[in-house]
Amino acid sequence: MLARFFPLGHQRWLVCALLLFASAINYIDRQVIGLLKPVLEKEFAWDERTYAGIVFSFQLAYAVGMLLAGRIIDTIGIKRGYIIFVSVWSLAAIGHGVAHLIPGLTLPWMQISDKNGFALVTLTGAAAGFAFMRFLLGLGEAGNFPAAIKATAEWFPKKERALATGIFNSGTNIGALGAPLIVPWIAVSLGWQWAFILTGAIGFIWVIWWAYAYHSPREHPRLTPAELAHIESDPADQRGKVSWMKLLRFRQTWAVAMGKFLTDPIWYLYLFWIPGFLNKQHGVDLKNIGLPLVVIYLVADVGSVGGGWISSRLIARGWTVNAARKLAMAVSGVVVLPIVFVNDVGMWPAVLLVSVAAAAHQGWSANIFTVASDLFPRKAVGSVVGIGGMAGAFGGMLLAFVIGEVLTRTGSYAILWFLAGGAYLLALLVVHLLVPRMEPVTMEQIGDGSR
């Protein structure tokens, strides 16, 4: 039966399914705090700046983790690296349920004072406990995408990578879709603490599955010779060591990093602030938040797969990798533009506009991830994706800071939607200026640092 649909074999798609579920769990754990934002603000009397400080802690750790994750995975391998990172983030996710019980913890946080200068304040009590757990969560979750992109580069030839990336990246939307279905129910039925504990525990089920099921292509016991030949149909990578510092000398690295820096923060805006926006702007409470968010992330799922499919299809029809990837990214950048009107419409039109923008983001994301594997040999992909993720997390840190101040001072999201609308076309312009022809970097170049 399977042979009819997968004449070369299907093991690479089972690996893709594993990556999809890891990404889904990653986003379930990441999104719980956004869903519970109105509840936690009421429970602990947090203001927008305090919540922004907690989100900032996650972004800071995610940036630091991305700096390390790619190198760790390139060094110890995908299988062991994934086990370590998923275990760390699952423990941290569970820890949110008891974060408010940590005694005497204080953490520093910067904000703009009323005199427009920077002031050092501290997060204390429950806010500090949550910020600490968010930091640990960010360290662990930083390993997901470097590992997944490296696994995709190892298991798929270049012509299939964007589609495979789009499929596993759609797991982020499945997680974001599943979270509003289960988290409010758990929180209402058992208490908000159990929403963190039960969702965090899911990661350990995946770890057991991954430890049993994952093998590299040449070590996989059920991989057919035909499928192995298909996986290895691209020219073999050259041998050599990857120097993280030398990677920074290449315009190709900076193209991936800037593409992520300018657009990743917009996804964090959706993830961590949309529930609060719907609550404050349209009165949507925890019991009713599920359906609007399900719509948003269901549509986003279509964008993730569709964005990868577009560029893969164009390449199959003879387009160059450069033209196919950039056209798919340009389409995403245009489709996201109507989000600038979100502040001026009713609840369901706003949900529709955010849904389309989220789909556009995921289409963009599938392609910018794949660009890393287009531009670099497999041995360097984990490190490059780590650098890009670090840049995206730094962008998220800055945007969290901006959001806290904008909402505190104006009480309006309007400025934020304008930032979201313009980010993608600006990012594409920067990517094109840095890599107008998307020339791949070789291991020989990485070894001697030439451009």
Q: Is 236 exposed, middle or buried (0-12, 13-18, 19+ CB in 10 A)?
A: exposed
Determine contact, residues 52/401, Cβ cutoff 8 Å.
Answer: yes
Its domain, for residue 321, covers 2-448
Q: Per residue of the chain (451 residues), what is the pLDDT tens digit?
A: 444 444 555 678 888 899 999 999 998 999 899 889 889 988 998 888 888 888 888 988 988 887 788 778 878 888 999 999 999 999 999 999 998 888 767 777 655 555 555 555 677 788 889 999 999 999 999 999 888 988 888 888 877 877 787 788 778 778 877 888 899 999 999 999 999 999 999 999 999 999 998 888 877 777 778 877 777 776 665 565 666 678 888 999 999 999 999 999 999 899 888 988 998 899 888 788 888 988 888 888 788 778 878 888 888 888 888 999 999 999 999 999 999 999 999 999 999 999 999 999 989 988 887 888 888 887 787 778 778 888 998 898 888 888 888 888 888 899 999 999 999 999 999 999 999 988 888 777 776 544 4
Q: What is the structure's pLDDT at 136?
A: 94
**In angstroms, rounded to a whole number, what is the distance separating the alpha carbons of residues 404 and 21?**
32
Distance of CA 98 to the CA centre of its chain: 26
- Here the tokens at position 261 are 């820096």
- Here the tokens at position 271 are 């993830």
Determine contact, residues 394/64, Cβ cutoff 8 Å.
Answer: no
249-270 core/surface letters (b: 16 or more CB in 10 A; e: else): bbebbbbbbbbbbbbbbbbbbb
What CATH number is associated with residue 157?
1.20.1250.20
77-102 core/surface letters (b: 16 or more CB in 10 A; e: else): ebbebbbbbbebbbbbbbbbbebbee
Contacts of 157 (CB under 8 A, 6+ apart): 230, 231, 232, 233, 234
**In angstroms, rounded to a whole number, what is the distance separating the alpha carbons of residues 24 and 244?**
29
**In angstroms, rounded to a whole number, what is the distance separating the alpha carbons of residues 376 and 441?**
5
C-alpha dist (Å) from residue 309 to 44, 230, 277, 298, 330: 45, 19, 32, 17, 14
Angle at 56 between CA 48 and CA 180, to 5 degrees: 70
C-alpha dist (Å) from residue 324 to 89, 145, 305: 35, 22, 15
What kind and span of H or E run contains 206?
A: helix 192-213
Q: Which residue has the tokens 């012509």?
A: 159
**The total number of structural domains that make up the chain:** 1
